[in-house]
Amino acid sequence: MKKNYGAVEILNRGIIYIVFILISFFVFYPLVYTVSAAFSPGNGIASLNIVPFKDGVTLKHFIYVFTKTQYWVWFRNTLVISLWTALLTVIIASLSAYVFSRFRFVFKKPLMVSLLILQIFPSFVGMIAIYVILLRIGGLDTLWGLVLVYVAGNIPYNTWMVKSYMDTVSQNLDEAARIDGASHFRIYSTIILPITKPIITFLGISSFTGPWMDFIFPKMVLRTPAKQTLALGLFAFVSDKKNEFTNFAAGALVIAVPFVIFFLFTQKAMIQSMGSGAVKE
């Protein structure tokens, strides 16, 4: 019986290992294939070998992306849009969340419900209205117009999320600071923000990564090549008029490396901030 049980256990482990190996292959193969395409001597996707790195290694696609295109202009535009979107989203969402969490006023519940209702509808439903508004205020083909679109879309859900976290912070801290003569803004900046650092860190990271490779709204708002983002610039390599998949892969790989490094550093900061304690109700 013991021998049979041991054989069954070995068989089960073998099946599990095989299943995980197959899953890992299907998950990692597209990534490895893209990396190999960035270094492949070919140009189009049809010229690539199905076996990664079998055709050799070259750096000509990276040289082409850096010297023959406006890659660094796209990178700068994307970085500016992402940074301003993250900064404004954190400021506006945290301030509005503090107001909804700590104050009582008329139409408070209807306003919160309206924010929730706005988040239900997909973003592309209002694309015509967004286009008309940007046209009226001169925001088309501008980076600040795209930042305005992202920030406006981030406010409803993020206000709810940060407000729910602030509700868990004890209001005894507010009362103690108010007795000492602290203003509402001082309470918000010196007490509430440090305590809610975990959710604020998450909000900043998610608000930064959202616009980084977004394609739909930049395609609608931006027009001139000097205002394009990374998503628009790289998409031009694999459009109907071009079939430069290897150049596309090289540009995408260059984006991915610093982005992964950024995520690793911010993830560590977020985990550390999760360990910070506070008095909660």
| Higher per-residue pLDDT: 46 or 216 | 216
* % of the chain residues with pLDDT over 70: 91
Q: In 10 A of CB 84, how many CB atoms?
A: 20
- The 10 Å CB-count burial string (b at 16+, else e) for 129-149 is ebeebbeeeebbebbebbbbb
pLDDT-based confidence at residue 95 (cuts at 50, 70, 90) = very high
pLDDT for 3 equals 52
Q: Using CA atoms, how far apart are residues 213 and 248, in angstroms rounded to an integer?
A: 13
pLDDT the model gives residue 272: 55
Tokens of 208: 């930064």
% residues pLDDT > 90 (the chain): 18
Query: How would residue 279 be classed by pLDDT, with cut points 50, 70 and 90?
Result: very low
User: CA 199, CA 182: separation in Å to the nearest integer?
Assistant: 24
pTM (2 d.p.): 0.81
Report the alpha-carbon distance of residue 79 to residue 140 in Å, rounded. 19
> How much is the mean pLDDT over the chain?
83
pLDDT value at residue 280 = 47
Residues 237-255: tens digit of each pLDDT = 887 677 788 888 888 888 8
The pLDDT score that the predictor gives to residue 229 is 92
User: What sign does the CA torsion over 219, 225, 228, 230 have?
Assistant: positive
- Give the confidence band of 97 by pLDDT, cuts at 50, 70, 90: very high
Average pLDDT of the segment spanning 4-10: 68
Q: Residue 277: which pLDDT band, with cuts at 50, 70 and 90?
A: very low
* Stronger pLDDT, 256 or 217, i.e. the higher one: 217
Q: What is the pLDDT of residue 148?
A: 94
Residues 41-48, mean pLDDT to the nearest whole number? 74
CA distance 68 to 158: 40
Residue 218 has pLDDT above 80, yes or no: yes
The alpha-helical segments, DSSP class H, found in 225-244 are 230-235
| pLDDT score, position 12 | 79
The confidence score (pLDDT) of residue 88 equals 95
Q: List, for residues 125-182, the tens digit of each pLDDT value.
A: 778 888 899 999 998 999 999 999 999 888 888 998 899 888 888 888 888 888 888 8
CA atoms within 13 A on the CB side of 134: 24
Provide the pLDDT for residue 90: 94
The candidate with the shortest Cα–Cα distance to 121, out of 149, 153, 167, is: 153
Supply 98's token pair.
């503090």
Alpha helices in 40-168 (DSSP H): 60-68, 71-102, 108-120, 127-137, 143-166
Per the listing, tokens 């090549």 go with: 225
249-270 average pLDDT score:
76
Q: What is the pLDDT of residues 78-93, one digit of tens each?
A: 999 999 999 999 999 9
